[in-house]
């Protein structure tokens, strides 16, 4: 019993020491992997991805992706500086690339490396739609969601290993692994992922507004996303993302808050939609 108590104490201490503070929420977040090691690895993977895919340069669309990305990153820096987080972005290396691919997707790696696929442009429909997507992706990087997902995966793996050790000689080992796998995904990892998506939606909405883009257009973007999906989606509790309806409702609820936040930075009117 004394040994077990010591293990628990050490585990709690490790969890406490392996936390970082999210500058947007003030909450402690998991940080088993430091950005000092995570960022260089992410940058290398991003560079490798670019060599293996058709990166589009020198077009109006590719230049728009870069322009919007820089505006969103500048908005993030203004917001962070105004809220006492000067220097937070010093290790970020922003990069925005358009890749020829029919996938309706965009993503951001830890440290600020972003890719938009051409397949998402028709649904974005205009520059403000791009800003809504960009704000969301930048928010993932700013909130260190990649770092948190890796940390959560370590915890999931650690608990699984501990259970296997405890039941090594038990006929219930297979049942435990099956039950733990389902429970940890549905009750732990999937809600964790959905919370990140919701957080990125909210932070992204603020960023696009501070960058001068109308935040009310974010809900319109997700209405188009919903239409494009044809209603084909798993139940929300089995998904890594909130449902389209949940996202649309959230974004509509946050519009006025985003507009008020932008006013603090002198933004009282918005850029044209910028159709393309």
For residue 162, CA distances in Å to 17, 30, 137, 166 come to: 21, 20, 35, 6
Which residues, other chains included, contact 85 with Cβ-Cβ below 8 Å and sequence gap of 6+?
23
- What was the pLDDT predicted at 6? 36
- What was the pLDDT predicted at 79? 95
d(CA 270, CA 259): 10
Active site annotation includes 127: no
Instruction: Say if residues 140 and 146 touch (Cβ distance below 8 Å).
Output: yes
φ, ψ of residue 97 to 5 degrees: the values are -130, 145
Catalytic residue among 137, 197, 202, 220: 137
d(CA 148, CA 152): 6
- What was the pLDDT predicted at 240? 53
- Domains of the chain: residue spans and CATH: 35-263 (3.40.390)
d(CA 142, CA 88): 9
pTM surpassing 0.95?
A: no
Two structure tokens written together for 73: 């990153």
Two structure tokens written together for 44: 């290398």
Q: How many residues does the chain have?
A: 276
Per-run averaged pLDDT (10 residues), the chain, 276 residues: 37 46 67 74 95 97 97 96 92 96 93 96 97 94 69 53 55 52 46 72 96 97 90 52 86 97 96 78
């Amino acid at each position: 019993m004394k040994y077990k108590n010591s293990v628990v104490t050490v585990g709690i201490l490790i969890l406490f020491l392996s936390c970082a503070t999210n500058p947007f929420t003030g909450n402690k977040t998991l940080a088993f992997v430091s950005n000092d090691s995570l960022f260089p690895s992410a940058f290398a993977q991003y560079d490798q991805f670019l060599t293996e895919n058709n990166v589009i340069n020198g077009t109006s669309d590719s230049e728009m992706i870069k322009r919007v990305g820089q505006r969103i990153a500048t908005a993030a820096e203004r917001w962070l500086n105004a809220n006492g987080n000067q220097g937070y972005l010093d290790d970020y290396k922003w990069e925005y690339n358009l890749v020829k691919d029919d996938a309706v997707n965009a993503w951001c790696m830890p440290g600020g490396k972003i890719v938009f696929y051409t397949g998402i442009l028709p649904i974005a429909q205009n520059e403000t739609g791009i800003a809504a997507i960009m704000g969301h992706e930048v928010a993932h990087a700013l909130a260190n969601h990649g770092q948190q997902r890796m940390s959560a995966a370590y915890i999931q793996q650690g608990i699984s290993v501990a259970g296997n050790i405890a039941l090594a000689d038990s006929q219930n080992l297979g049942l435990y692994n099956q039950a733990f796998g389902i429970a940890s995904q549905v009750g732990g990892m999937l809600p964790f992922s959905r919370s990140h998506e919701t957080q990125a939606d909210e932070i992204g909405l603020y960023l696009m507004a501070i960058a001068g883009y109308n935040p009310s257009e974010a809900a319109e973007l997700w209405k188009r996303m919903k239409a494009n999906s044809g209603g084909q989606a798993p139940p929300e509790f089995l998904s890594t993302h909130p449902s389209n309806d949940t996202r649309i409702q959230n974004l509509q609820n946050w519009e006025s808050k985003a507009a008020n936040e932008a006013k603090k930075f002198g933004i009282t009117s918005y850029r044209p939609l910028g159709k393309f």
